[in-house]
Amino acid sequence: MPAPPCTSCHAARAALRRPRSGQALCGACFCAAFEAEVLHTVLAGRLLPPNAVVAVGASGGKDSTVLAHVLRELSPRLGISLHLVAVDEGIGGYRDAALAAVKRQAARWELPLTIVAYADLFGGWTMDAVARSTAGSGRSRSCCTFCGVLRRRALEEGARRVGATHIVTGHNADDMAETVLMNFLRGDAGRLARGGGLGSPGEGGALPRCRPLQFASQKEVVLYAHFRRLDYFSEECVYAPEAFRGHARDLLKRLEAARPSAVLDLVHSAERLALVPAARPPRPGSCSRCGALASRDLCQACALLDGLNRGRPRLAIGKGRRGLGEEGPQGAPGDRAQPPASETIPAF
């Protein structure tokens, strides 16, 4: 059974069938269509205005590698300048190899690169130190919670240092779809309310963030990287990912096999969800310590660091969040009625 000819150029043999349309395309036509679609996402959503200085959150993994490459291809047309910002979480063995990949990319594509380290930003706390500190809790999930919150903060900080006006991250359609599935399975209405849309406009002084690959499925991102011969780092973080996301991911892969457009259909659904007013999270205020957006007195990052510094790391996670900030060290009774921490893991 030979591969059919490409339905676009009719010259080359098709190399893949697109999940969204079922079309058979050759590698070159696929890559061109992929780039055109990212361009459309950026333009139609007015994500990155001309003259924007864009900080690309670079991890060395496939998504951020593809994002950086595509935006670099598109940057003359968009009139934007790019700056790679990598975060060094301080995870021995794992992060060094990933950062090496980012450095290679920066050199090859001649893009400026800035690396910000947790240790410098957060008073000496590396992820390895956090992990040791939370080890007693016996759950790897708390590790990912810390890392997610702190990485978001670190990226914001790095972007400011390089004078960026916008932040882009490599989240793809699969990430979005997994998240919406998880939010339903966990009954997390607060995050559902914020899950849709292409990004945050940057309220409260935060830099606007967006996800230009939000409509590209994981499969297409990987194939794009393959056909463009991009060199990326692919190794699982030593702190294993949250088990529950594994369930959602597994389900998503099955759904995709039954209906290739399922990933995008889920993203569409997530964009269109509407919550009753009572279920929407309250308008966030600002953190009393750092001024960032916060639904409580302290923003999530400051709350986590506060807990770490006081030797009670789990204080800021989930229900254990009682007793933070201005409240005394022990759980304050009045705090109970508040909604659960909606920022434990940032939506994005």
Partner 1 sequence: MAAPLSVEVEFGGGAELLFDGVKKHQVTLPGQEEPWDIRNLLVWIKKNLLKERPELFIQGDSVRPGILVLINDADWELLGELDYQLQDQDTILFISTLHGG
Partner 2 sequence: MCQVGENYGEPATEESQPAPRPGLDKTPVLDCKEGLPVVVIRAGDAFCSRDCFKAFYTHKFRAMLGKNRLIFPGEKVLLAWSGGPSSSSMVWQVLEGLSQDSAKRLRFVPGVIFVDEGAACGQSPEDRAKTLAEVKLILQTVGFPWYLVALEEVFGLPPAVLRCSAQEPAGTAGAYKAAVDSFLQQQHTPGTEGAEDSPSLAQQQGQLCQPPPQGPMGLQSPTGPPAAAQTEALSRLFHSVKTLTAKEELLQTLRTHLILHVARAHGYSKVMTGESCTRLAIKLMTNLALGRGAFLAWDTGFSDERHGDVVVVRPMRDHTLKEVAFYNHLFAVPSVFTPAIDTKAPEKASIHRLMEAFLLRLQTQFPSTVSTVYRTSEKLAKAPRDSHDTAHSEPRCLLCLCTLDVDGADSATAFGAQTSSHLSQMQPHTALAEAGMHPVPCCPPEVGSAQGCCRGPCERGDPRVCVLEWLCYGCRVNMKDLPSLDSLPPYILAEAQLRRQRAWVLQEVQEYLIADSDGEAETA
User: Which positions make up the binding site for ATP?
Assistant: 57-59, 63, 87, 170, 175
DSSP assignment letter at 292: -
Q: Exposed, middle or buried, 176 (CB in 10 Å: 0-12/13-18/19+)?
A: buried
Residues 59-98 close enough to bind partner 1 by CB under 8 A = 59-64, 98
Q: Does 219 bind partner 2 (CB under 8 A)?
A: no
In the complex with partner 1, which residue's Cβ is closer, 175 or 343? 175
Stretch that binds partner 2, among 157-165, 258-266, 299-307, 309-317 (CB under 8 A): 258-266
Residues in the chain: 348
CB 159 within 8 A of CB 207: yes
Q: Does 182 bind partner 2 (CB under 8 A)?
A: no
In the complex with partner 1, which residue's Cβ is closer, 34 or 233? 233
Residues 247-306 close enough to bind partner 1 by CB under 8 A = 249-250, 253-254, 256-257
Smallest distance from partner 1 to CB 118, Å: 18
Q: How far apart, in whole angstroms, are the C-alpha atoms of residue 266 and residue 176?
A: 8
Q: Which of partner 2, partner 1, none is residue 337 near (CB under 5 to 8 Å by kind)?
A: none
Smallest distance from partner 2 to CB 236, Å: 23
Report how far Cα 223 is from the mean position of its chain's Cα atoms.
20
Q: How far apart, in whole angstroms, are the C-alpha atoms of residue 64 and residue 279?
A: 33
**H helix or E strand, kind and range, residue 182:** helix 173-185
Tokens standing for residue 204: 């409260």
Q: How far apart, in whole angstroms, are the C-alpha atoms of residue 251 and residue 178?
A: 9
Q: Does 44 bind partner 1 (CB under 8 A)?
A: no
Which residues make up the interface to partner 1 (CB under 8 A)? 1-4, 13-17, 24, 27, 59-64, 98, 170-171, 174-175, 218-219, 221-223, 226, 232-237, 249-250, 253-254, 256-257
